[in-house]
């Protein structure tokens, strides 16, 4: 994996996090805010696991799937709470493939209370780790 691809992945993830953070900080739970938050969570999660995969590959660690990527990132202490990350993956799959209002509301609350902060912490760790890439 090239340094340029790692840098680009981190830049894309950073922009997605800003976008998601804008909604997470809103107190308004109207339907359109919930829907927009879920949509931004989905694409931020996708960018995150693909960024992790690229960073792991840059370090010489090969992964195949999102779950494999999360487990290997956890094994080298890039992720703090494996359960939260596996829950996040499951919730992302639920929101992407089945729309159920009860599930969406629960996932929205988890995005606001747990997932956003976990993604942000991981992003900051990766930013620090790769800050010297040219």
72 within some domain: yes
Q: What is the DSSP string of the chain?
A: --HHHHHHHHHHHHHHHHHHHHHHT-----HHHHHHHHHHHHHHHHHHHHHHHHHHHHTT----SHHHHHHHHHHTTS-S-HHHHHHHHHHHHHHHH---HHHHHHHHHHIIIIIHHHHHHHHHHHHHHTTT--
Instruction: Say what the pLDDT of residue 97 is.
Output: 75
| Structural domain includes residue 134 | no
Number of structural domains found in the chain: 1
Tell whether the model's pLDDT for residue 5 goes beyond 90.
Answer: yes
List the CATH number of the domain containing 57: 1.20.120.330
**How confident is the model over 26-61, as pLDDT tens digits?**
877 788 899 899 999 999 999 999 999 999 999 999
pLDDT for residue 118 is more than 90: yes
CA distance 99 to 83: 23
117 assigned to some structural domain: yes
Gap between the Cα atoms of 41 and 87, Å rounded: 13
**What tens digit of pLDDT does each residue of 75-110 get?**
999 998 888 998 999 899 888 776 777 888 899 999
Tokens of 23: 């909604």
pLDDT at 134: 53
Q: What distances in angstroms separate CA 77 from CA 3, 71, 110, one per listed residue?
A: 21, 10, 22
Predicted confidence band of residue 11 (pLDDT cuts 50, 70, 90): very high
Q: Is residue 35 part of a domain?
A: yes
- Mean pLDDT within 58-75: 94
pLDDT at 98: 67
What pLDDT was estimated at residue 102? 82
Print the domain residue range for 18.
3-129
């Amino acid at each position: 994996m090239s340094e340029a691809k790692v840098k680009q992945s981190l830049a894309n993830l950073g922009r997605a996090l800003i976008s998601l953070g804008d909604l997470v900080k809103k107190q308004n739970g109207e339907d359109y805010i919930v829907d927009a938050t879920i949509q931004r969570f989905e694409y931020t999660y996708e960018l995150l696991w693909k960024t992790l995969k690229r960073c792991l590959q840059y370090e010489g660690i090969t992964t195949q799937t999102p779950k494999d990527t999360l487990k290997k990132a956890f094994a080298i202490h890039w992720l703090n709470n494996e359960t939260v990350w596996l829950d996040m993956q499951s919730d992302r799959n639920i929101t992407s493939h089945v729309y159920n209002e009860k599930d969406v509301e629960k996932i929205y609350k988890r995005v606001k209370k747990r997932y956003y902060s976990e993604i942000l912490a991981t992003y900051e760790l990766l930013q620090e780790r790769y800050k010297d890439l040219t």
